[in-house]
Structure 1
């Protein structure tokens, strides 16, 4: 994709923070509507399908494509990706990607917009998202995609995809589909996504020296279709796969790989051999250190037992 020109027109600031706050909490509260619908496993599967469709909109579209340009696609499918991402109710692709690029630039410093080590769990999890300061974004942070008028339009009107999606669910499946496929799914989707801002910088293992607190967490990887390999990602963020090795489950990457077989996406960027070799070396060193520590504990325990018997 060609880079944009150096002069990028500024984004018009949105001056409706209070309205957004009200809308946000109303959407969160709609999960309580689940008590108005008799339980059904079919509806649970509707919620699950809706969850993973829109999670891919965040992981594959907003994150790996718009934020990190880790693969290429056509202009048409680029818009489709932005639309699916917007269905998650996490604003537009340009807004999301611009703030995410800032996060990587200042990760776990005072300028990081959602660092749990600096600002606490709940702020990093969701409250930063509600601040008036972040209603806007700097267009210069995302010139590669800001140049497309249809993306700017969708970014300004990011409420259209979720509204359209909600109407479609109601038309197809009635009130039950709307409640489970939209309300329940959106609530879980939002909090699952935000765990990458909060929990993945607190719980997990560290493979690479990424100069921040990012960690790899298999449970978060399963929950977010591969985003839980956060330490991998922060060390080499331009890779389309965040699970660097075959045993690190990354469903988002699997989907993108399949799409590449049909020519829908292409030029999937992978971590270089040097990065993979370094990761393997670090894993081996940690394994050896763990085995040595376990051996030392066993020897100390046996020595203590001998001393007790000799006394």
Structure 2
């Protein structure tokens, strides 16, 4: 029997017939993504074997922070959640800046992220560590065929702009322009540190929100997923580590809800708002900040209910019953 033919069913006639077919080979896009990631890591190793200078480290840090903002403040908070407004021209400028982070186009990134929020921590989530484990949630999902192409139906608000669709198709233009400019300005070392090393660190730092921010940290709000707030992840991602806050109110321009929650991307957006580049920054109301507090309503995540019950059982004080009141105790004065 051919692999493409239906296998005879031995179960009841109400069950669907399963058709087994050959697994499709990796696509050109998948192969290119794997090669690119391998080259980024090899290039990072090469950079550390050459002459080290603090000037190169500063260059890598600068390009890291600018492009981390492009992911967190632009791809995430603007294109995914529309947490502020801007002009059509500056929207294109921000989108191009986002492509230099080498995480595909703005429409692909945002449409995929919207799927994550819609099905967070379920089997239909894009990158749930609770469902798929560390590797798949950190990087494996990014290389998968099922997430290779942009689903424009999930982002009709921005897919209506032809310039954004072009940039999304040609997202490699941004990294190419950036890498070429660094090489022409500072030579091979500037390219290796300003683009390669910076991109390698940027990629893994960004992906930790997918793989670690649902496992390590604290929960303030009783969301139905497993999102957590993590101070250290917030530092390296310019504010994205306040992930439980974000899943509580995803349209907020600030993910650090309180003054002590450092959110550098929000500070940058406030500065841009002050000079008129962006406006209508959406923030959670006082009512939103007090709604669904975990300490008041209890755990709501199906994946964490058992853990919450176990912790509650451990914290519950034992009830000490006097000996003469215990059901098996002998009557007073006997024995």
TM interval, shorter chain, is 0.7 to 0.9
- Pick closer, same or farther for the CA change 1:143–1:285 going to 2, 3 Å: closer
Using the TM superposition, name which of 73-82 and 167-176 deviates more.
167-176
1:306 aligns with: none
Aligned to 1:34: 47
The alignment partner of 1:120 has SS state of helix
Q: CA deviation at 1:30?
A: 1.4
Structure 2: runs of 5+ lacking an equivalent: 1-26, 299-313, 318-335
Alignment correspondent of 2:135? 122
Distance 1:257 1:283 in 2: 31
Corresponding position of 1:276: 289
Give deviations 1:206-225, integer Å, cap 9, x for gaps. Answer: 01011001000000000100
> Which of 119, 125, 133 lines up with 1:112 in the alignment?
125
Q: 2:262 maps to which residue?
A: 249
The correspondence of residues 150-299 of structure 1 with structure 2, limited to 5 A, is 150-278=163-291
Greater share of helix residues, 1 or 2?
Answer: 1
Q: Which residue of 1 aligns with 2:156?
A: 143
Cα separation, 2, equivalents of 1:35 and 1:245: 39
Whichever of the two has the greater Rg, that structure is 2
Partner deviation per Cα, 1:255-299 (whole Å, 9 max, x = no partner): 0000000110000000111122347x657999xxxxxx99x9xxx
Aligned length in residues? 277
Following superposition, the deviation at residue 188 of structure 1 comes to 0.3
In the alignment, the residues of structure 2 paired with residue 79 and residue 33 of structure 1 have an alpha-carbon distance, to the nearest angstrom, of: 34
1:84 partnered with 2:97:
yes
Q: Distance in 1 between matches of 2:114 and 2:184?
A: 38
State whether residues 222 and 294 of structure 2, in contact with CA within 8 Å, keep that contact through their aligned partners in structure 1: no
Q: Distance in 2 between matches of 1:241 and 1:189?
A: 21
The structure with higher relative contact order (CA 8 Å, sep 6+) is 1
Q: Tell me, in whole angstroms, the C-alpha distance in 1 between the residues paired with 2:296 and 2:263.
A: 22
- Whether 1:49 aligns to 2:48 is no
1:69 is matched with which residue: 71, 82, 88? 82
Structure 1 portions without partners, runs of 5+: 1-13, 287-292, 297-311
User: What's the secondary structure of 2:212's corresponding residue?
Assistant: helix
Q: CA RMSD in A?
A: 2.1
**Is the Cα contact below 8 Å between 1:33 and 1:183 reproduced in 2?**
no
